[in-house]
């Protein structure tokens, strides 16, 4: 058993279950007061929502299987990656149902249905992205707090971007990806661990953990067209969102492969790039997904995303860790941050080119700036709260190690003959 300090062990043993139970009781009470089924008087009508159900299921797989397995690449942190992912998402979707519902109450009632379920799942994606930045360095107790705070701030930012600025962001490049990434980076900055400046022996993969991670990559890849189209307006908009995402991902995957070879210099591919940068096209095309940008426009956006994502992994992540005191375990800046900004810029250009006459380049730019700004401020505040002593701090040497939180069947076998991830 790892030798953790008693304050930390105490937090996990007592505070974690008490906190979870209080939260669940409070949520059930709030649901009892406010939440009703969205049937009968629903907009869109019931039959319309049924059409959304397969798209909801695709998004659901992305949240629980996709994000969960994408983070299993660490050799000794697979249980936590999948388990805490599940914990965050299940808490997050309940909390988001309430928070998003408060913005759209009908006579003091929150109406839930397939659309609200899609939106709730979307909210949790932002938290899961942030989780990727601090993966292995935050405890489940801390992640519960991040979930509650980030979902709350996310709901406000989303309301600002969609209802006040009236910006377009169908695939949520800005409100989910950029927001989640910079929120996570800000938390990472505020909870910087100088003791891990030179890396950690567990911060690497083994052969089979990299293959587990590809389960996550592939399910995200395959279902991304559903993610980018699920909240698009039914009809041609939704149709275009599917098609654009399909081609943006394909183009971005090819450029990610090519760039991975180019930056390595030894003629080899890096699994980190293939696991992550192949998805960057889907992130970047998000904001414009339902616009009439034509397939070649989507492919252009995707191609650029694949390139900048790999370049980010190779050059920016090490720089962030050494110069900016931002440790980014999964490299979410490269998968969600940079491609998300690219998506926002693409939407500004699309608005400026009058591809859709309802759009304003200024409002798109404001949406991008808001998402980044609110994420950074919110993330720093959240990070400072995480450092409150009563939460118990995980010792540096126990980072990236499942055996702190789990009964692990063995201690050493997955650790043999492995080398660190660059």
**Which of positions 209-268 make contact with a copy of itself (CB under 8 A)?**
210-212, 214-215, 218-219, 221-223, 225-226, 235-236, 239-240, 242-243, 246-247, 249-251, 253-255, 257-259, 261-262, 264-268
Binding a copy of itself by CB under 8 A: which of 5, 48, 53, 105? 53
User: Minimum distance between the CB of residue 75 and a copy of itself, rounded to whole angstroms?
Assistant: 8
Whether residue 187 contacts residue 129, with contact meaning beta carbons closer than 8 Å, is answered with no
User: Minimum distance between the CB of residue 164 and a copy of itself, rounded to whole angstroms?
Assistant: 29
Binding a copy of itself by CB under 8 A: which of 60, 177, 314, 333? 60
CA–CA gap between residue 110 and residue 356 (Å, rounded): 32
CA–CA gap between residue 160 and residue 157 (Å, rounded): 5
Whether residue 232 contacts residue 170, with contact meaning beta carbons closer than 8 Å, is answered with yes
Stretch 394-413 residues interacting with a copy of itself (CB under 8 A) = 405-413
Stretch 286-315 residues interacting with a copy of itself (CB under 8 A) = 292, 294-296, 299-300, 303
65 touching a copy of itself, by CB under 8 A? yes
Whether residue 63 contacts residue 128, with contact meaning beta carbons closer than 8 Å, is answered with yes
Tokens found for residue 165? 């600025």
Stretch in the footprint of a copy of itself (CB under 8 A) among 24-32, 283-291, 325-333, 362-370? 24-32
Q: Which is nearer to a copy of itself, 33 or 384 (CB)?
A: 33
Coil vs helix vs strand at 37: strand
Q: Which of 216, 295, 291, 280 is nearest to 249 (CA)?
A: 280
Whether residue 212 contacts residue 78, with contact meaning beta carbons closer than 8 Å, is answered with yes
CA 367, chain centre distance (Å):
18
User: Minimum distance between the CB of residue 353 and a copy of itself, rounded to whole angstroms?
Assistant: 15
27 touching a copy of itself, by CB under 8 A? yes
Tokens found for residue 226? 């559903």
Binding a copy of itself by CB under 8 A: which of 7, 26, 45, 57? 57
Binding a copy of itself by CB under 8 A: which of 5, 7, 43, 51? 51
Antiparallel, parallel or unpaired: β 35-37 and 110-112: parallel
DSSP, res 412? S
Coil vs helix vs strand at 291: coil
Tokens found for residue 93? 């979707």
x/- track of binding to a copy of itself for residues 173-192 (CB under 8 A): --------------------
422 touching a copy of itself, by CB under 8 A? yes
CA–CA gap between residue 218 and residue 87 (Å, rounded): 22
CA–CA gap between residue 10 and residue 339 (Å, rounded): 40
Stretch 109-128 residues interacting with a copy of itself (CB under 8 A) = 112-114, 117
User: Minimum distance between the CB of residue 104 and a copy of itself, rounded to whole angstroms?
Assistant: 16
Stretch in the footprint of a copy of itself (CB under 8 A) among 90-98, 165-173, 181-189, 350-358? 90-98
Hey, CA dihedral for 270, 274, 276, 282, is it positive or negative? positive
Q: Which is nearer to a copy of itself, 360 or 418 (CB)?
A: 418
């Amino acid at each position: 058993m790892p030798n953790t300090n008693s304050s930390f062990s105490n937090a996990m043993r007592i505070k974690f279950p008490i906190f979870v139970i209080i939260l669940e009781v409070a949520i059930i009470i709030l649901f009892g007061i406010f939440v009703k089924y969205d049937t009968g008087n629903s907009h869109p009508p019931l039959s319309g929502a049924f059409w959304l159900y397969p798209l909801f299921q695709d998004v659901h797989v992305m949240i629980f299987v996709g994000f969960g397995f994408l983070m299993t690449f660490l050799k000794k942190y697979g249980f936590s990656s999948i388990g805490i992912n599940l914990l965050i998402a299940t808490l997050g979707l309940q909390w988001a149902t309430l928070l998003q519902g408060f913005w759209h109450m009908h006579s003091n009632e929150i109406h839930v249905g397939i659309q609200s379920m899609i939106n709730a799942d979307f909210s949790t994606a932002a938290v899961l992205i942030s989780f990727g930045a601090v993966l292995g360095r935050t405890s489940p107790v801390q992640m519960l707090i991040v979930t509650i705070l980030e979902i709350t701030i996310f709901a406000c930012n989303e309301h600002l971007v969609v209802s006040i600025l009236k910006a377009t962001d169908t695939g949520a490049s800005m409100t989910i990806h950029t927001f989640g990434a910079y929120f996570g980076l800000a938390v990472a900055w505020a909870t910087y661990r100088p003791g891990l400046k030179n890396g950690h022996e567990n911060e690497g993969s083994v052969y089979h953990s990299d293959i587990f991670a590809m389960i996550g990559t592939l399910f995200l890849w395959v279902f991304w067209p559903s993610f980018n189209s699920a909240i698009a307006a039914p009809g041609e908009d939704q149709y275009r969102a599917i098609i654009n995402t399909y081609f943006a991902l394909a183009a971005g995957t090819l450029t990610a492969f090519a760039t991975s070879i180019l930056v390595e210099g030894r003629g080899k591919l890096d699994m980190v790039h293939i696991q992550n940068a192949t998805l960057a096209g889907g992130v970047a095309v998000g904001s414009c997904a339902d616009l009439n940008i034509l397939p070649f426009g989507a492919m252009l956006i995707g191609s650029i995303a694949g390139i900048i994502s790999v370049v980010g992994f190779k050059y920016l992540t090490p720089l962030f860790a050494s110069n900016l005191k931002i440790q980014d375990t999964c490299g979410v800046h490269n998968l969600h941050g940079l491609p998300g900004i690219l998506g926002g810029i693409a939407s500004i250009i699309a608005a400026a080119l009058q591809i859709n006459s309802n759009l304003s380049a200024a409002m798109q730019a404001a949406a991008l700036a808001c998402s980044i700004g609110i994420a950074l401020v919110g993330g720093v505040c959240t990070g400072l709260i995480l450092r409150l002593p009563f939460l118990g701090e995980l010792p540096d040497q126990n980072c990236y190690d499942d055996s702190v939180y789990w009964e692990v069947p063995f201690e050493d076998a997955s650790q043999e003959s492995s080398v660190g991830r660059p």
